[in-house]
Chain A
Amino acid sequence: MRLTNLLAGALTLGLAGAAFAQDEPTKVGFVYVGPIGDGGWTFQHNEGRLALEEEFGDRVETIYQESVPEGADAERVITQMALQGADIIFTTSFGYMDATNNVAEKFPNVMFEHATGYKRDHPNVSTYDARFYEGRAVIGTIAGHMTETNKIGYIASFPIPEVIQGINSSYMHAAKVNPDVEMVVTWVYTWFDPAKEADAARAMIDQGVDVILQHTDSTAPQAAAAEANENGGRVFTFGQASDMAAFKPVPRIASIIDDWSPYYIKRVGALMDGTYEQTASWGGMPEGEVVIGEITDAVPAEVKAEAEAMIAAITAGEYHPFTGPIMKQDGTVFLAEGEVATDGQLATMDFYVQGIEGEIPN
């Protein structure tokens, strides 16, 4: 796998085109961690890229590279894009953080935008993220109502703050409506490996988990749940990153959709009219970056209404999913009564809240 990507990188290096003149269209580069056809995370970033092309037409030119491993290969790919004359490059996975900053140092005139990270070592590096935990609060609520075995599974990718926020947010809101609920977390250490994701889902189902949340990019857990349901099971899932509508109405009963197009259009637009500035953007439901997909009829009407009320409250800015009192797993206080988590606290979250069993690997 690595070897092939290495070779792919070498190929693109060799085939690099000539430099472009300044009055050419704004060239926008995208680095994807999975294939566009993953049906999840990368698919949504690519939708954002297509929205850019639609918005600006001939004034932009987009380039992208799929399935770029997080690590040394990423640095080569990003460098290559900068050499190809990209004016702005979006690197769309947490693991590209150091690579993005390293390349940014060498190309001060190219703007870099790193998704879900927190390092902005150079003035030309911005970060952007979406408040997925807002969506997790909603599907956690639904999960708490829907489980009969009181076991909710979470297929987790890597122990980074974004994933831990998701686990905590969904657990807290599931436990709020169902105090008996237990959260089963399985770390698969990959963003994209359909076979492994399916195995993880199956292991959960075998052990009595009946609602599965995933923080990985493929639709394989949905397929595994669908298969279990065909064999007489009762398992529900939620679409992740993309709507995953093919699995409606069951097992997929709702979804968290990442909509990156508003952000991409805003940033590239700013670059074109000269108002571009370094930022650390963190949009959520109010900005339209986190959207809950259709809640299917498998969910009882009153649960659906409760979920919709929560969506409305978060969108209006009336409710923050991390509002105290919240205890850490070890019993110490994270947030006092009525206190709301700061973005800094969320961005460095490295603990489970009280009630979740197990340890976070580090």
Chain B
Amino acid sequence: MDLTSISPTLLIASLMVAATPILLAALGELVVEKAGVLNLGVEGMMIIGAAIGFIAAVEIGSVWLGFAAAALGGAVMALLFGVLTQLLLSNQVATGLALTLFGLGLASLLGQGYVGIKVDALPRLDMGPLSDLPFVGRVLFGHDPMVYVSLALVAATWAFLRFTRAGLILRAVGESHDAAHALGYHVVRVRLLAIAFGGACAGLGGAYLSLVRVPQWTEGMTAGAGWIALALVVFASWKPARVLVGAYLFGGITVLQLNLQTAGATIPVELLSAAPYLVTILVLVLISRRGRRGGDAPADLGRAFHASS
């Protein structure tokens, strides 16, 4: 076994790439769930983002517009869910699952003519001398811009939920929609906005897969990433910083285990393959244990609201 063949610099760089799609999707779902809505359609919105992002990037020739289109596509998908669950009061679990099925099918249809086409990859950010610094340069300043966007989004979400009035209203809607309604807040509007934001984030995460991480369009390419993101939100007990830790742990150990195998580490492969799931769950559960127990989930999560009730 030759572990020196694993370069820590390259490992951290690819770790961040591997983690970004689930980070974006989980962050969006966190906001949705904070508003009291359970949208199980993350996988569907992600794959739509992956398809639309790729198609837009190919047709328009701009990766950035690809990301914009992906966010828009994800948001439209999410609003479909929003209209059904918030205005027509359909069951959130069933509608979310249907959204995933619909998304997978629609994405395959849209992507029919785009299999095997190449797209210009997002160039790594070049911060001049900073990016040339040994180790630190590549790790801190040498990523594609979307990695920084995702990190900024984590900080922004955290600050929004914690410090702003709008964030407080959103949390109030999630904890007790009746109380929020009694105070005169428009519960359905707040939830629709949150759902749209969640869809946009999932769309961005999907587009990151098809435009940066893989980068190409393949049917079914999310391969369950949306479900990982969903689970991550729960294990991170609805806290943005923990979602970040969880996503980087998951992405990191996924990449690390592949690197260890390639380097010929004498650890059973079965254990290595299971490690990302085991370690992420273990760490997040341990973190959550320190806080108060059981009170993390928004109280009205998944409950339908109608002003008459």
Show the binding face of A for B, using Cβ within 8 Å. Answer: 1, 3-4, 7-8, 34-39, 67, 153, 184-190, 192-196, 198-200, 202-204, 206-209, 218-220, 223-224, 226-227, 230, 244-247, 357-359, 361
Q: Return the contact of A207 from the options B218, B224, B255, B263 (Cβ within 8 A).
A: B263
- B280 within 8 A of partner (CB): no
Nearest-neighbour CB distance to chain B for A90, whole angstroms, equals 20
Tell me the bound Cα distance from A208 to B258 in angstroms.
14
- B176 within 8 A of partner (CB): no
Q: Return the contact of A196 from the options B14, B104, B118, B223 (Cβ within 8 A).
A: B223
> Chain B, interface size: which category?
35 or more
Residues in B247-304 with C-beta less than 8 Å from chain A:
254-255, 258-259, 261-264, 266, 268-270, 273
Q: A34-B220, A194-B218 are in contact. Are A202 and B108 (CB under 8 A)?
A: no
Which of the segments B82-90, B178-186, B208-216 contacts the partner chain?
B208-216
Q: Which residue of B lies closest to A362 (CB)?
A: B270
- B29 within 8 A of partner (CB): no
Chain B 102-122: CB-based contact to A (< 8 A → 1; otherwise 0): 001000100110011110010
Residues in B110-152 with C-beta less than 8 Å from chain A:
111-112, 115-118, 121
Nearest-neighbour CB distance to chain A for B112, whole angstroms, equals 7
* A–B Cβ pairs within 8 angstroms, 5 of them: A7-B101, A36-B219, A198-B214, A206-B11, A220-B221
- B43 within 8 A of partner (CB): yes
Determine whether the beta carbon of A4 is less than 8 Å from that of B221: no
Nearest-neighbour CB distance to chain A for B201, whole angstroms, equals 17
- B168 within 8 A of partner (CB): no
Determine whether the beta carbon of A4 is less than 8 Å from that of B104: yes
Determine whether the beta carbon of A206 is less than 8 Å from that of B269: no
Q: A3-B97, A190-B223, A361-B269 are in contact. Are A39 and B218 (CB under 8 A)?
A: yes
Determine whether the beta carbon of B219 is less than 8 Å from that of A187: no
Determine whether the beta carbon of B227 is less than 8 Å from that of A1: yes
Tell me the bound Cα distance from A189 to B257 in angstroms.
12
Which residues on A sit within 8 Å (CB–CB) of B262? Answer: 153, 184, 186, 200, 203-204, 207, 209
Q: Return the contact of A218 from the options B43, B111, B218 (Cβ within 8 A).
A: B218
Determine whether the beta carbon of A223 is less than 8 Å from that of B264: no
Q: Which residue of B lies closest to A246 (CB)?
A: B116
Q: Return the contact of A223 from the options B18, B100, B216, B225 (Cβ within 8 A).
A: B216
Q: Return the contact of B214 from the options A34, A204, A220 (Cβ within 8 A).
A: A220
Q: Decide if the interface of chain B is mainly helix, strand, loop or mixed.
A: helix
Show the binding face of B for A, using Cβ within 8 Å. Answer: 5-7, 10-11, 14, 18, 21, 43, 97, 100-101, 104, 108, 111-112, 115-118, 121, 209, 213-216, 218-225, 227, 254-255, 258-259, 261-264, 266, 268-270, 273
Q: A35-B220, A220-B218 are in contact. Are A195 and B213 (CB under 8 A)?
A: yes
Determine whether the beta carbon of A200 is less than 8 Å from that of B258: yes
Nearest-neighbour CB distance to chain B for A46, whole angstroms, equals 12
Tell me the bound Cα distance from A223 to B224 in angstroms.
20
Which residues on A sit within 8 Å (CB–CB) of B268? Answer: 361
Determine whether the beta carbon of A198 is less than 8 Å from that of B213: yes
Which residues on A sit within 8 Å (CB–CB) of B14? Answer: 199, 202-203, 206
Tell me the bound Cα distance from A109 to B18 in angstroms.
49
Q: Return the contact of B258 from the options A4, A199, A219, A358 (Cβ within 8 A).
A: A199
Q: Which residue of B lies closest to A220 (CB)?
A: B214
Q: A4-B100, A195-B225, A199-B254 are in contact. Are A37 and B218 (CB under 8 A)?
A: yes
Which residues on B sit within 8 Å (CB–CB) of A226? Answer: 118
Determine whether the beta carbon of B214 is less than 8 Å from that of A224: yes
Q: Which residue of B lies closest to A7 (CB)?
A: B97
Nearest-neighbour CB distance to chain A for B251, whole angstroms, equals 9
Determine whether the beta carbon of A192 is less than 8 Å from that of B101: no
